[in-house]
Structure 1
Amino acid sequence: MIHFVPTPIGNRDDITLRAIEALKNADRIACEDTRHSAPLLAHLGIAGKPLVSLHEHNEVRRIPELVAAARGGETIAVVSDAGMPGVSDPGYRLIQACLQESLDYEVLPGPSAVLTALIGSGFPCHAFHFLGFLSVKKGKRLAAMEAALENDGTTLFFESPHRLISTLEVLAKAHPDARCCVARELTKKFETYHRGTAAELLAHFQSHPPKGEIVFLIAGD
């Protein structure tokens, strides 16, 4: 059995009882970054578990090893650095392999930056679209954001703090009145939600350079 285990997106106390149990019972834990996961496991008092890396650069070659281990009777837990494995993180290809190999797997519910930001933004929740990270190319970024403005409901993106001002510049130039929200450092000490038009948020972050992990939301029609 392979268990896909969500981990906190910031506050370590957000881990679920089922997630802790799955990590305790695992024979090995596949981590997006073992250096990142090790402190969490230590905080939970989980020691002595073999940790293997499972990230975007080695996922394809690591999958056969994990599938073979599960076939051999091992219980494997899969975690990303934060939130749900498979959401802009490793995990999707492994689930596809499980389906192809008719191998049992379980996905545990838990923390998600996408849903936390959606609810906290105050933007419409009846329909929403999550499109991962915005493109590094300005033309593609603008196209994605203009499509979001045409969508029913809310569209969410992950964005780098180093590129947020550039993204807001692109949007504010074309659609200064677009309704946006920047959800930053969710569940952490300095969590903030900044809501306003693209032009207003651009002015704010030009004066207050953004830091930390960011979910960028655009309200559609």
Structure 2
Amino acid sequence: ILRDVDLIAAEDTRTTKKLLQKHGILKKNTISYHDFSGESRIRYIIETLEAGKNIALVSESGTPAIQDPGFKIIQECIEKNIPMTVIPGPNAAISALVLSGLSADNFLFAGFLPKAKAKMKNKLMELALFPYTLIFYESPNRIKTLVEELIGKFGDRKASLVREITKIYEETIRGSLSTILSEIGQRKIKGEIVLVVEGYKKDLIKNFSEEDITRELIKLLKQGISKKSALKIILSRYDIDKQKLYNMATKI
């Protein structure tokens, strides 16, 4: 593919050129396309495609559009009916899920959580009662904070931390969240990190009163959780009709 296309749009042209040289693909036209590329670069790529040229979109380490650049170009191609395809390639989330040993029948890719603490906590509260395996991306300098927050919101669930997949220092730490916290607290963790966490195993509460629901809803709202997120949490805990809950919420 890289040998045959007219142009390569790469997240990092330096790394891509090394790859091309290794495979004997010389004098191939390459341009940069990354998170900070402006609209003019997107417009140039689209116009080149509309002129009948073939372009390969290459990300630095992963698959384009999966926490990597590419989403905007894909959207533009769809809107302008420009044909495209995808070549199956590396994806850290799926690779880490396979290595984790946790259920892969159903899962949610959460990616990087918001950096703002309030938004991060709201997101975790939304996910706390999600019944499927969760996959997070995180940086080395924030991973300890993430694990601590997860223990506080999720409890000590089964988890797996995978870093540097396919590289020399690849490592997988399996166990509970507290086991992982203890391990990473003893040394400095480097590289790209994927944290896979077991989903919530719920038994819906059946015996409750409207007062119990109202009290719990008010408690969640006082914690700074949005009403939308609070309603999701209530529905995940109690065997209650959704419309009945929404009617109760309008009175608060």
- TM-score w.r.t. the length of structure 1 is 0.84
Give the counterpart of 2:110 among 88, 107, 131: 131
Q: Contact conserved, 1:29 with 1:50, CA < 8 A, in 2?
A: yes
Is 1:166 the counterpart of 2:111? The answer is no
Identity among equivalent pairs (%) = 34
Give the counterpart of 2:129 among 143, 150, 175: 150
User: Within 2, Cα distance between the matches of 1:171 and 1:83?
Assistant: 25
What residue is the counterpart of 1:184 in the other structure? 163
Gaps of 5+ in 1: 1-21
Give the counterpart of 1:63 among 31, 42, 49: 42
- Between 1 and 2, higher relative CO (CA 8 Å, sep ≥ 6) is seen in 1
Q: Aligned in 2, Cα 1:179/1:117: closer, same or farther, shift over 3 Å?
A: same
Let me know the Cα RMSD of the aligned residues: 1.6
Q: Aligned in 2, Cα 1:216/1:142: closer, same or farther, shift over 3 Å?
A: farther
- Residue 52 (structure 1) shift: 0.6
SS at match of 1:209: coil
Give the counterpart of 2:86 among 94, 98, 107: 107
User: Within 2, Cα distance between the matches of 1:23 and 1:174?
Assistant: 45
CA displacement 1:117-161 (0-9 Å, x = unmatched): 111101111111112212223333344334334112211111001
- Residue 100 (structure 1) shift: 1.0
How many residue pairs end up in the alignment?
200
Q: Which has the higher strand share?
A: 1
Q: Aligned in 2, Cα 1:176/1:152: closer, same or farther, shift over 3 Å?
A: closer
User: Within 2, Cα distance between the matches of 1:167 and 1:127?
Assistant: 22
What residue is the counterpart of 2:76 in the other structure? 97
Q: Contact conserved, 1:185 with 1:214, CA < 8 A, in 2?
A: yes
Q: Aligned in 2, Cα 1:188/1:74: closer, same or farther, shift over 3 Å?
A: same
SS at match of 1:30: strand
- Residue 202 (structure 1) shift: 1.1
What residue is the counterpart of 1:209 in the other structure? 188
SS at match of 1:84: coil
